[in-house]
Structure 1
């Protein structure tokens, strides 16, 4: 426990996802008296139904791809029949077993997080919570939520997250028409999965189920997959999707989704229809801010229901902070965690360093992964900053050749004159790990020359980062 903080300060946290968990943990470690209210389980939707389960499913899909591609490296799998003749076995996906493991893993992660909070002295209330003014939360617990517990606190942190957006013309039924939280009850691989929405969530699940062996159709209302991401990265992914047999319908807006027996029909705005066995709706999310007393307590909401916060995650009410997907800031689990910590540090008088949009690292868990950090090409163009970029294909990397990687690249952005690294994109297996040194360069404002002087293991994929910065040195000279 940190010194200098008396245990007289009180913090109440509504929501136990990444933002609420980190807020409660940090507050307890700073000596505050902390109460956390969570209805589903510590970790919230991120752990129980979203980030942890989806990335576990993707890890299984990656394993299937690795097995299928092993023959390219000279590894061949055979079984023998009764006559001793070698047979090439097929890769089979036991989706029921996969989903059982995923949900068990999520439950264990939630329990580990709960125990960490308990060990730090956090009081955890299982139930629904709402604000009762700017200095109190009310938790409804017990059978039917008839028991109530009122918690007064000097600081309140709201971290209630968001839920999948539903369409009036495409109501999920939990069996054939699904949101991403409902996928884990399926007992068998979908014969033909139609994914509506080509943003991050849609692209990730389309990639995963394609690699698990399902027929996949991706319905995109825009002219390409991942319309908000780097164009070169989206182009690589579209090529991988096409080679894997996925059908991508561009500029195709879904008007409705209906179910007839064991089939679903997606009607498009141009009059076409797509028929499949299942449909995944990945059309965005809405914040879980309705009906929890925010506006009554004086907290302003945007028309979309999000909570506006300042750089230290504070609302317009001094005692109320907010973190995560329910706010107007970047909707990432890592950002929610940082907001939760920042809010508590600010409220309790510790050093609070606000997260900056221009230094946030993010990853899209497709195959290959797409990782980004800092400013991107479009940001440089819109800001008027004099910057330049260098893209280095991974196909030229010796380690990539050894492990059979032929697609992907490292692309870095730097400022003219100073050579300061301001952003980057990596498309590669485990790009989520490879982006870290670039994130450090952006955070510490290192120049391309400084990065180029850091030793990278040879051979390694990280060697492409130093190779790119060395190539950028030629632009500057000295």
Structure 2
């Protein structure tokens, strides 16, 4: 290899990214900062569906619902709201959340453009291991680059017998068309998305029925957390219809009719379908380019986001790893680090912290109780109800707990669950502990504010003290 002289020019690596969601725009930012020439091809707008139709609008809706929760429970704190009953104005709510989504999209675009990233609004298709065909309103162009990242996301799954119409029957991208709080919202699907929307619309003032194919809500989550949420649902008036599926959904003169597998029929004003997502991988040239797909249609990737083609990486929901914006962003950053020869740590699923934005919120990190029960991990488990926490009592918090998993014998923190208002913020302490292999005594000996809900994390750790 010839030595580099002052007259030689070292070419900047080039990268084309299909999809401008969290996996795509985070990868673009990192790559541009590392000196790459970056082009992003995105159909909707920067931020993708996560910003424009999914995460940002749904969590903004939930924030409004949470304000309704606090207003409803204010009398328990001695606050007299008079005779006025709080009411959600859905026209204002939906206008606000959609405008916030558009603002976030604009902010992302401006940040990318300041870094020199070229943005192409249109659809993209792979035509080879290093080429993408982009189709825009102006025509078609071929973009050649050293590498490609596929970050095309996923779309709501639809049932052939329950087609969303955006008026009475919705998928999760369409509910922001509502102009009034639904009289009776029937939510089909008791996973994370279904539970979040059921919780939100209940707090906004709708009667809510949640159809679950399992015997409980959130079947894939911590069982203690799911039980707390079911108790909260029962207290707040959410009806859970379990162990059944929706066979079909039809419009009626003034609402919807949901036919269940057991022959039961639910009638409501609206229906929200939350039955999972399908990867946006069809028809974009992946298989023609040699990229291996899984049976479910997701892009198969390794720990550094590589596909079966060395020049093609993938990130986000299209990979089927975790349907989380934070995971998509991490996969995108890992892909760029590997591509650019930067320091890289392979993606580690057990370090992912996640949150379910119900009321109360449910946050988790690390191993699960199911993995302990199966014998995969040996752990001491300590669950501490928030009923003992003074700050929770002051705030009139009625549901919640902190749970810590510590490796048996050593006391290293290997997992945790927090069920509480703002659990998404509280889980960070446990995520740090899991990521950096902290001992329970490290948590126990760290000062917490008194009174605080986070004090329960420290108290749970103290109860797990391992005498060496």
Q: TM range, normalised to the smaller chain?
A: over 0.9
Normalised TM-score (structure 2): 0.97
Q: Which residue of 2 aligns with 1:82?
A: none
Q: Which residue of 2 aligns with 1:83?
A: none
Q: How does 1:391-430 map to 2 (within 5 A)?
A: 391-430=383-422
Match of 2:13 among 9, 13, 17: 9
1:326 is paired with a residue whose SS is helix
Match of 1:31 among 35, 52, 62: 35
Q: Which residue of 2 aligns with 1:112?
A: 107
Match of 1:195 among 187, 192, 198: 187
Q: Which residue of 2 aligns with 1:68?
A: 72
Q: Which residue of 1 aligns with 2:63?
A: 59
1:109: Cα distance to partner? 0.3
What is the CA deviation profile of residues 154-209 of structure 1, one whole-angstrom value per residue up to 9, with x for unaligned ones? 11000000000001111111111100000001111111000000000000000000
1:367: Cα distance to partner? 0.4
Q: How does 1:337-376 map to 2 (within 5 A)?
A: 337-376=329-368
Q: Which residue of 2 aligns with 1:225?
A: 217
**Count of paired positions:** 460
What is the CA deviation profile of residues 68-98 of structure 1, one whole-angstrom value per residue up to 9, with x for unaligned ones? 11111111123xxxxxxxxx11111100110
Q: How does 1:155-174 map to 2 (within 5 A)?
A: 155-174=147-166
Matched, 1:240 2:243: no
Structure 2: which 5+ residue stretches go unaligned?
1-8
1:7: Cα distance to partner? 5.6
Q: Distance in 2 between matches of 1:14 and 1:182?
A: 24
Match of 2:303 among 284, 297, 311: 311
1:429: Cα distance to partner? 0.2
Q: Distance in 2 between matches of 1:111 and 1:132?
A: 30
Matched, 1:101 2:96: yes
What is the CA deviation profile of residues 339-384 of structure 1, one whole-angstrom value per residue up to 9, with x for unaligned ones? 0000001001101112211111000000000000000111223343
1:63 is paired with a residue whose SS is helix
Q: How does 1:163-312 map to 2 (within 5 A)?
A: 163-312=155-304
Q: Which residue of 2 aligns with 1:464?
A: 456
8 Å CA contact retained: 1:6, 1:32: no
1:8: Cα distance to partner? 1.5
1:406: Cα distance to partner? 2.0
Matched, 1:477 2:464: no
Q: After alignment, is 259-268 or 20-29 more displaced?
A: 259-268
Q: Which residue of 1 aligns with 2:125?
A: 130
8 Å CA contact retained: 1:263, 1:277: yes
Relative to 1, partners in 2 of residues 1:93 and 1:135: Cα closer, same or farther, differing over 3 Å? same
Q: Distance in 2 between matches of 1:405 and 1:374?
A: 26
Q: Distance in 2 between matches of 1:282 and 1:10?
A: 39
2:87 is paired with a residue whose SS is coil
1:442 is paired with a residue whose SS is helix
2:317 is paired with a residue whose SS is coil
Q: Distance in 1 between matches of 2:299 and 2:375?
A: 26
Q: Distance in 2 between matches of 1:321 and 1:307?
A: 9
Q: Distance in 1 between matches of 2:37 and 2:105?
A: 22
Match of 2:24 among 14, 20, 43: 20
Q: Distance in 2 between matches of 1:89 and 1:137?
A: 58
Q: Distance in 2 between matches of 1:68 and 1:257?
A: 33
Query: CA-atom RMSD, angstroms?
Result: 1.1
Q: Which residue of 1 aligns with 2:52?
A: 48
Q: Distance in 1 between matches of 2:312 and 2:207?
A: 47
Q: Which residue of 2 aligns with 1:441?
A: 433
8 Å CA contact retained: 1:7, 1:31: no
Relative to 1, partners in 2 of residues 1:445 and 1:173: Cα closer, same or farther, differing over 3 Å? same
Q: Distance in 2 between matches of 1:182 and 1:235?
A: 29
8 Å CA contact retained: 1:309, 1:328: no
Q: Which residue of 2 aligns with 1:90?
A: 85
Normalised TM-score (structure 1): 0.95
